Structure 1
Amino acid sequence: MAGTEFIRRRRPDGGRRSGGDGVRVGFRHGSEALLGGAAALWLVGFFLPATASGSGSTISGRAFADLIGSGTLTVSAPRWFGAVLYLVPLAAAVLLVTLVSDHPSVVGLRLVAAAVATLAALAFAAVVADWRPARVGTGSWVAIAGSCLAVAGATSTLRRRGGHHGDR
């Protein structure tokens, strides 16, 4: 997909491309836009109500994770599960930072971050909300939507790269 680039590139003769300082803002590929959207949804979802009813229905996902981690809130999850919930915004931040490079190792880190956030978001829905749609809160739905975008973006990245981290 023809797009714009985040990184600076120099011409073979050492000069910059015409048109300003050589920096373009945007995404190189649709997969990066999908992964960027997933990260944004995960970050937004972390600050919305975690559940629709019962414990966590009136507080953000961040506060809910704090309560689980501190042991103040006893749900069907162990205390360490509060740390698992923090993996979602942490992986989203890593994902956003890695969008600036197309280096194979950075792309690998990007895919790992997307997988970690997806698994953590789905684990939250499974453990805390018991997979009951009526119990899943706005923040969880937003995180699940982010997970759907992440799967689409990761699939697109792998298809674009031929299933490995070599040259395009």
Structure 2
Amino acid sequence: PSRRPAYGATPRLRVIAGPHARAFSAATRATLLTAEYQVGTQSNRMGYRLAGPSLAASPGTTVPSLGVMAGVIQVPPGGEPILLMADAQTTGGYPIIATVIGADLPLAAQLLPGDTVRFAAVPLHEAHAALAAQRALLVAPPDDDNIGAPI
């Protein structure tokens, strides 16, 4: 198998439910998984602002500050989701609707402002299996066909 992932025109990032998923209505959670989002121009290594349907949490939702990491999708009061990336802050206080699985973070890192992205829910065991498969591929010896001349 190739070590170079085949990224499609509109990547689908796999997600697991976030710790505050139930703070969002079932319809709002479904919107995250059915709508397309565009990486906004106000995006950088800290996070991608995603333009698309609003994902507002239920009225009155407040969450305590908690640790965050790359892959977290947090939703500020305005409803515009933010996908946290490599240089994200260490704590956040917005509700977290979902988290991109570790195996898909390299794909997320390829997105540029203006790119479109979709999300797909997966169970935790599938997220673990995808990460294990990715790691196995990276540590496997290279195929003879892929060995080029030394640089």
Structures share a fold, TM > 0.5?
A: no
Higher relative contact order (CA 8 A, sep 6+): 2
TM-score, normalised via structure 2 length:
0.30
Higher normalized strand content (fraction of residues): 2
If you compute each CA radius of gyration, which structure gives the higher value, 1 or 2? 1
